[in-house]
Chain A
């Protein structure tokens, strides 16, 4: 476990109260980040994100999933929600907080579940349009594996941005469905590397997380926290925002203190503004360098 001294906490808290942080940013400033896509050649899509020392790598692998005897409509809907399978793996070397195996496992599950909750709504990706092979029977399943290579705070936001970029980068092979006499279905995969379905247009509604950390007084909160700042947070609210500024997920996590309802409303408001900004800059950058 990493520890922080009382004087350091005092320094950070006072800085944040007067809207100036240790690295010169104000409360609502994001650090610069660099995004690279298509780094893993064997994956259907991949992205790598660096925010200061935080480094995450995301690979998307597509596989065909057969749904057996989906009888009622309700069952099908339930299955539809599970088009994305998330696993998060934090390297033990990434942070001194991850050295304990049991804590690390818990943390991995926590992150994966939070991401799953963000993607749980069917409006995130149009399943019928992009991920259906044979309606009601065969679908594309996207296994999204994220690795945290290095940590300098703000992991969840970094993961969600990297996943969005990886999905932008994802291409699925075109598939020809052949039905034989006995209603058996076989697939013919197109071998032409140009003849593919890209998920570029599908990510329009894909949300990202904005984590707001409340440090010091009740009404002062920051985004994009560093590792040092994360050690002295009172409470933390992760809010999922998409391009239409809809709120896709909220979770309060890892904080010892509660939040006043007024503060929560303020937090959601500012998350909404910041989220839309980041998504639009991100989309611009992705479109410039395909």
Chain B
């Protein structure tokens, strides 16, 4: 028992050293980066689980390797204000936890970066929800970033869309999104935190409803030529389709699981009565 533990410890230490070496390499020639075990257009592993918060109408937890985001949807619930009459009010709030990043500092109040990102997420999702079906109500989306290792916006939009579907809110389509970092001659999909914060690069985020073929959000910051923009947007749109298929599969799986659980419960209840 003890021996195995020691072996585990040694292994971990070796891994750490390796990582440190890699980091040093990356720092030396910051533009020419090496990705660990994946190509430029390859995604990291994605883990999705919906229905995780019991008190919310719908919720979803997403992991893109080290990036961890939890999203819950409350509503449609009755609105206290009377101003919005025809359609539901749609609110979105993103919050980084204080321990989510070792570089950026976050506290309990909402800062401007979070407000800005909330607006971008709201803009990406609002086109997909049939708000006119829920007059006099509000739909609140709360997104909590537990750990930030790049690609937070994509994780948030994906989780929020899954949570909306989990809550049973009527939608035209789910919103899938994808982001990339463009360096001088490369386009890196699904960037990590390190890749996102490289100097002289451009970030592009695309959110899309694949069934309707409509782009609901497009954000770019940085300097790019026309051709590169078009190329990057096309790549991201393809990435959206990939993420969408994962989302769809996950939604079906979770529904099947729910049905199974229901059946099991019913059977158990019947047994009890007998």
B183 CB within 8 Å of chain A: no
Can you report 25 A-B residue pairs in the complex whose CB atoms are below 8 A from each other? Answer: A74-B27, A74-B30, A74-B197, A106-B115, A109-B112, A109-B116, A112-B112, A113-B112, A121-B221, A123-B200, A237-B218, A248-B223, A249-B221, A250-B218, A250-B219, A251-B219, A251-B220, A256-B126, A257-B127, A258-B208, A259-B218, A264-B215, A264-B233, A265-B230, A265-B233
Interface residues of A (CB under 8 A from B): 1, 72-74, 77-78, 80, 106, 109-110, 112-113, 117-118, 120-124, 235, 237, 242, 245-261, 264-265, 268-269, 272
A258 engages B127 (CB within 8 Å): yes
Q: Which residues of B contact A264 (CB under 8 A)?
A: 215, 218, 233
B226 CB within 8 Å of chain A: yes
| Total residue contacts A-B, CB cutoff 8 A | 111
Q: How far is the CA of A121 from the CA of B221 in the complex (A)?
A: 7
B214 CB within 8 Å of chain A: yes
A272-B226 contact in complex given A109-B116, A122-B199, A247-B220, C-beta closer than 8 Å: yes
B229 engages A268 (CB within 8 Å): yes
Whose C-beta in chain A lies nearest to the C-beta of B118?
A106
Q: Which residues of B contact A257 (CB under 8 A)?
A: 127, 214
A247 engages B233 (CB within 8 Å): no
A252 engages B126 (CB within 8 Å): no
Q: Which residues of B contact A106 (CB under 8 A)?
A: 115, 119
B115 engages A255 (CB within 8 Å): no
Q: Which residues of B contact A120 (CB under 8 A)?
A: 221-222
Knowing that A74-B27, A251-B220 are A-B contacts, what are 10 other residue pairs whose CB atoms are under 8 Å apart, sorted by A's residue number?
A106-B119, A242-B223, A246-B224, A247-B226, A249-B221, A252-B217, A252-B219, A258-B208, A259-B215, A260-B213
Interface residues of B (CB under 8 A from A): 27, 30, 83, 112, 115-116, 119-120, 123, 126-127, 197, 199-200, 202, 204, 208-209, 212-226, 229-230, 233-234, 237
Q: Which residues of A contact B199 (CB under 8 A)?
A: 74, 77-78, 80, 122
B129 to chain A, nearest CB (A): 10
Q: Which residues of A contact B212 (CB under 8 A)?
A: 258
Q: Which residues of A contact B115 (CB under 8 A)?
A: 106, 109
Interface secondary structure of A, over-half rule: mixed
B226 engages A249 (CB within 8 Å): no
Q: How far is the CA of A152 from the CA of B30 in the complex (A)?
A: 46
Q: Which residues of A contact B112 (CB under 8 A)?
A: 109, 112-113
B225 engages A246 (CB within 8 Å): yes
Contact of A72 among B27, B200, B202, B214 (CB under 8 A): B27
Whose C-beta in chain A lies nearest to the C-beta of B234?
A261
Q: How far is the CA of A127 from the CA of B204 in the complex (A)?
A: 24
Whose C-beta in chain A lies nearest to the C-beta of B224?
A247
Q: Which residues of B contact A73 (CB under 8 A)?
A: 27, 30
A250 engages B116 (CB within 8 Å): no
Q: Which residues of B contact A245 (CB under 8 A)?
A: 226
A258 engages B209 (CB within 8 Å): yes
Whose C-beta in chain B lies nearest to the C-beta of A113?
B116
